[in-house]
Amino acid sequence: MKIEKNFSENLKGSVKLYITTYGSSYDVQDLYNRGWITVDGIEVVNFSTPDAFFLYQRDLNATTPTKYIANEVTKEYVDRTPNRLAEKGEFSKFDLTYCCNEFLNMSIEKAMVHASPIIQMLAVMDKRLGKRRLVVLDEKELHPLVRYFLNFRLEAEGLKDRTT
C-alpha cells in the first residue's frame, strides 16, 4: 500500500493497513466492507462499515474529508471505552479509504492539525514527521488512535522506553 511506503523506516513491516471490499456497486453488500490495521500481525483497530451504518446510520465520520455528506455521531465519546483505539462504529472502511487518499497529497503540517484522527494517525507514522517534532507532541490532546501510534512510533524510534 502506498501509505505504508511513507512510514518511518522503523515502522515498515510492523504496521500494516488493510481494506476489503465485497460487492461491486453501492448496495447492501457494500455495508459488509471493512478496513483494519495490524501491528506485528495483531489487529489493533477495526474500521467496520456495518458497525458505523447500523449503530449510527452513516458511512462516514464527520471529520473525514470527502465531498459526500457525513453525519455527526449523536453519541459523544466523553467516556471512551478503556484501551479501545476507536469506539465501535466510530469509523468505517470508507473513512479509512478517503483519509488515506487525502493524506497522500497533504503536507505533514496540515495533516497534524487535521480534524480527522485517521489523518493524524497517518501523520505520526510518516517519515516526514521528524523525531524532534514527535517528542514534543502532547499526547493528552490526541485521539486514542493517534496516541497509540504516536507511542508505538516513539518506542520504535528509541525515543520512549516501553516501561514508561
In a domain, 161, yes or no: no
| pTM of the predicted model as reported, rounded to 2 decimal places | 0.86
What is the chain's mean pLDDT, rounded? 86
Do you know the residue count of the chain? 164
In a domain, 92, yes or no: yes
Q: Which amino acid is at 140?
A: K
Read off the pLDDT of residues 15-46 as tens digits, 9 standing for 90 and up: 999 998 776 655 555 557 899 999 999 999 99
Half-sphere exposure of 54 (CA within 13 A, CB side): 10
Neighbours of 123 (CB within 10 A): 27
Domain residues for the domain of 134 are: 2-156
**Confidence class of residue 163 from pLDDT cuts 50, 70 and 90?**
very low
Pick the closest to residue 150 from 137, 164, 141, 132 (CA basis).
Answer: 137
In total, how many domains does the chain have?
Answer: 1
